[in-house]
Structure 1
Amino acid sequence: MRFMVIVKATKDSEAGIPPDAEMLEAMGKFNEELVKAGVMLAGEGLQASSKGARVRFLGDERTVIDGPFAETKELIAGFWLWQVRSKEEAIEWVKRCPAPFRTECEIEIRQVYEIEDFGPDVPKETLEREERLRAQLTNQK
């Protein structure tokens, strides 16, 4: 099972205040543990929403909204993509994580859809396309 592990933003992360050297070291060690355990597939920190944009869809219309975005508790400061056996295993890994910020923060865990999750009605062509795309992604690494 794959899980997206989402580090929620704080006022400091949105203000562009980077983690200190101690936090970078602690997170680096945690990431090493994840890699050695074969759990981590990807992971990155994200810059403040002031450097980002959103695209709102309404039918054929596309509206670009430049950051910053107001509600920090709904913003993402970073993420991991993990391969684990269960949600419970993902939770146990998150509990071992160093607190990403010096203030109260939250990490969200969300399971990633696999093509099989869409049931037996997925067209054969769609399954084949998914397999080709996954193979291409693997070959790009």
Structure 2
Amino acid sequence: MKFMILIKATPESEAGVMPSEQLLTDMGRFNEELVKAGVMQAGEGLHPSAKGARVRFSGPNRTVTDGPFAESKELIAGFWIWKCASLQEAIDWVRRCPNPMLGESEVEIRQVFEAEDFGEAFTPELREQEERLREQIAGQGQPPA
């Protein structure tokens, strides 16, 4: 099972306060544990929402709103993609994580959909397309032969 681990933003992270050297060290150590255990597949921090934008869809219309966005509790400051056997395993890993922020913080765990979750609507043709796209994405990071 794949899980997206969402590190919620705080007023400090939205203000652009960078993590301390100690927190970076602690997170680096934790990420090493995740990689050695075969759990971590990706992970990144995100710039504050002031450097972002939102696109709202309403039928055929698109409206772009530049950041920053209000209510930092609803914003994401970073993420991981983990492969775990269960939600409980993901919870256990998050419980071991250093606090990702200076003060109080919150981390959300969400399971990522997999092909079998879509049932018959995910036709063989759509499965082939998905596999082809994943192969192309994987190949984009490789140097030309």
* Cα offset, 1:135, TM superposition: 1.7
Aligned to 1:68: 68
Letter matched to residue 101 of structure 1: M
Displacement, 1:138?
2.3
Residue 124 (structure 1) aligns with: 124
Give 1:111's aligned residue: 111
- Secondary structure of 2:135's counterpart equals helix
| CA-to-aligned-CA distance 1:105-128 (integer Å, 9 cap, x gap) | 100000000111001342211011
Distance 2:113 2:41 in 1: 15
With normalisation by structure 2, the TM-score equals: 0.94
Q: Partner residue of 1:77?
A: 77
CA distance in 2, matches of 1:15, 1:55: 22
What are structure 2's unaligned runs of at least 5 residues?
none
The answer to whether the aligner puts 1:6 opposite 2:12 as a matched pair is no
Letter in 2 for 1:85: A
Distance in 2 (alpha carbons) for counterparts of 1:119 and 1:140: 29
Task: Please tell me the residue identity of whatever aligns with 1:128.
Answer: E
State how far apart, in whole Å, the 1-side matches of 2:42 and 2:86 are.
18
1:34-63: CA deviations, max 9, x gaps?
111111110000010000000000011000
Secondary structure of 2:138's aligned partner: helix
Identical counterparts, % of pairs: 62
SS at match of 1:119: helix
In the alignment, the residues of structure 1 paired with residue 5 and residue 41 of structure 2 have an alpha-carbon distance, to the nearest angstrom, of: 11
Deviation at 1:139, TM superposition (A): 2.3
**Poorly superposed stretches of 4+, deviation over 3 Å:** none
Is 1:43 the counterpart of 2:43? The answer is yes
